[in-house]
Amino acid sequence: MQSQEKAFPVSWDQLHRDARALAWRLSGQGQWRALVCVTRGGLVPSAIVARELGIRMIETVCVASYHDYQTQGDLQVLKRVSDAVVDVGEGHGDQVLIVDDLVDTGKTARLVRDMLPKAHFATVYAKPQGCEVVDTFVTEVSQDTWIYFPWDMGLQFVPPLHDGRS
């Protein structure tokens, strides 16, 4: 954990509920012909959103930013969006939905948005520095909060707060 002070653990159940809530918010906002998933964090939310909205054309954009699972580093594009998806609708991502798990500083979101400037960008969670980059999100958390996603956690004992060890 970087210099974050707060922790927000997200269970599989909570992530599923929040991703469905995202789909519900998106359901009346457009006729989506394709979904672009920002990997890796956007994989699970994208699957849920695509199912709920009936989107069958699914593409990935692969961007690495958290190289050590704790601190955000330089962005590295590992795989770009295919031309077939960029050309959907009027081009430049019109009628394309981009889904990610989280917008933190907005660096990754800005990079992906540059690839698809007309796309609608949606995340499950958002921090203040990145909020203006996305069009739709479900839950905002403070910038100093570290979100622990279910794929990054295992079951273990957690001492009570009064113990002073947590």
Can you give the pLDDT at residue 71? Answer: 62
Say which DSSP state 80 is in. P
Can you give the pLDDT at residue 158? Answer: 77
Question: Average pLDDT of 106-112?
Answer: 96
Residues 6+ apart with CB under 8 A from 119: 36, 92, 93, 94, 96, 97, 98, 113
Residue 158 resides in a domain? no
Residue 166 resides in a domain? no
CA dihedral defined by 147, 66, 60, 20, rounded to 10 degrees? 0
List pLDDT tens digits, range 59-86.
999 998 765 556 667 899 999 999 888 8
pLDDT(3) > 60: no
Residue 161 resides in a domain? no
Residue 139 resides in a domain? yes
Question: What positions carry a catalytic annotation?
Answer: 100-101, 104
Residue 127 resides in a domain? yes
Can you give the pLDDT at residue 163? Answer: 65
Q: What is the CATH number of the domain that holds 66?
A: 3.40.50.2020
Determine the structural domain holding residue 100 and report its residue range: 6-151
- Count of structural domains within the chain: 1
Residue 160 resides in a domain? no
pTM, full prediction = 0.87
Residue 42 resides in a domain? yes
Portion of the chain with pLDDT greater than 70, in percent = 90
Say which DSSP state 113 is in. H
